[in-house]
């Protein structure tokens, strides 16, 4: 996993962290077709930024 290497973290740690961020609504992961990179979008919390 390219992101894990860039962050010097294990792939399991990165996958778990991405899942947590997605579950609380801070990112949106869009899975694409075979051979295509997935997209990760950052989202603003409800109510916007302080």
- Which tens digits make up the pLDDT trace of 9-27? 999 999 999 999 999 989 9
Establish if 9 belongs to a structural domain. yes
- On the question of pLDDT at 46 being above 80, the answer is no
- On the question of pLDDT at 47 being above 80, the answer is no
How far apart CA 11 and CA 25 sit, in angstroms, is: 21
What total number of domains does the chain contain? 1
Establish if 47 belongs to a structural domain. no
- On the question of pLDDT at 6 being above 80, the answer is yes
Establish if 50 belongs to a structural domain. no
Establish if 6 belongs to a structural domain. yes
Establish if 31 belongs to a structural domain. yes
- Contact yes or no for 42/29 (Cβ under 8 A): no
Confidence (pLDDT) at 42: 94
In this prediction, what percent of the chain has a pLDDT beyond 70?
96
Greatest Cα pair distance, the chain, in angstroms, is 39
3-state secondary structure (DSSP) of residue 5: helix
Establish if 25 belongs to a structural domain. yes
Residue 12 lies in domain: 2-42
Establish if 49 belongs to a structural domain. no
- What are the start-end ranges of the E strands in the chain? 27-30, 39-42
Q: How high does pLDDT run on average in the chain?
A: 91
């Amino acid at each position: 996993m390219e992101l894990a290497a860039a962050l010097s973290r294990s792939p399991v740690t990165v996958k778990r962290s991405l899942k947590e961020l997605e579950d609380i609504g801070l990112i949106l992961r869009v899975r694409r077709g075979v051979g295509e990179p997935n997209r990760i979008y950052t989202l603003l919390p409800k109510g916007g930024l302080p």
